[in-house]
Amino acid sequence: MTVSLRRAREADKPAIANLIQLYLHDMTEFMPFPVGQDGRFAYDFLDRFWRHPYFIMSREEIAGFALVIDECPLTGRKPCWFMAEFFVLRAYRGRGVGRTALDLALKAHPGAWHIAVPHANVAAQTFWPRALGGRLVMPRDIVFDGDAWTLTAFQSQ
């Protein structure tokens, strides 16, 4: 399966916003997200995280998205790459799409990285250690905004 990252443009913001709705829907299995009167999940971070936005592509089809930023909002570390949001559509999970997309993002942004996952997100707690594979990673537990997170620090070449 051919997987690539395609840089999202400003005109792609509505498409990413739509994908965020699917992302939040999936996360409600582990974490509560309220639905507004318009039937959509509230998400106020897209402008803040729109620094290095990508579509995850499987051949010519959108398989997900990744929002990479250049600082860690949980620790305040700068410079530090941070995977602000990462989502693979269910149809593409378990096929190596997420791991390949992560590898591509790490190659595009070499240096210090942080990836943080809320303890409540059981699926992500399983995915990230596998996706990071043999990299020298240093996970630790932290509390941010009253929630428990696993923060993984590592270097990407």
- Is residue 31 predicted with pLDDT exceeding 90? no
Nearest to 56 by CA among 97, 12, 17: 97
Does the N-terminal peptide bond of residue 79 adopt cis geometry, omega within 30 degrees of 0?
yes
Query: What is the torsional sign of CA 141, 125, 21, 6?
Result: positive
Q: What is the pLDDT of residue 87?
A: 98
> Where do the structural domains in the chain lie, given as residue ranges?
3-156
Average pLDDT rounded to a whole number, residues 41-66: 97
- Asked whether residue 1 carries a pLDDT value surpassing 80, the answer given is no
How much is the pLDDT for 135? Answer: 84
- Taking 90 as the threshold, does the pLDDT of residue 47 lie above it? yes
Residue 41 has what DSSP assignment? B
Q: H or E segment at 58? A: strand 52-58
Helices (H) and strands (E) in the chain, counts: 4, 7
Q: Which fold has domain 3-156?
A: Aminopeptidase (3.40.630)
The confidence score (pLDDT) of residue 138 equals: 85
Average pLDDT over residues 67-84: 97
8 Å CB contact between 132 and 150: no
Q: What is the pLDDT of residue 35?
A: 94
CA–CA gap between residue 36 and residue 102 (Å, rounded) = 32
pLDDT band at 10 (very low <50, low <70, confident <90, very high): very high
Res. 41 pLDDT band, cuts 50 70 90 = very high
pLDDT on residue 153 = 94
Per-residue confidence band for 110, with pLDDT thresholds at 50, 70 and 90: very high
127-153 pLDDT tens trace: 999 999 878 788 999 999 899 999 999
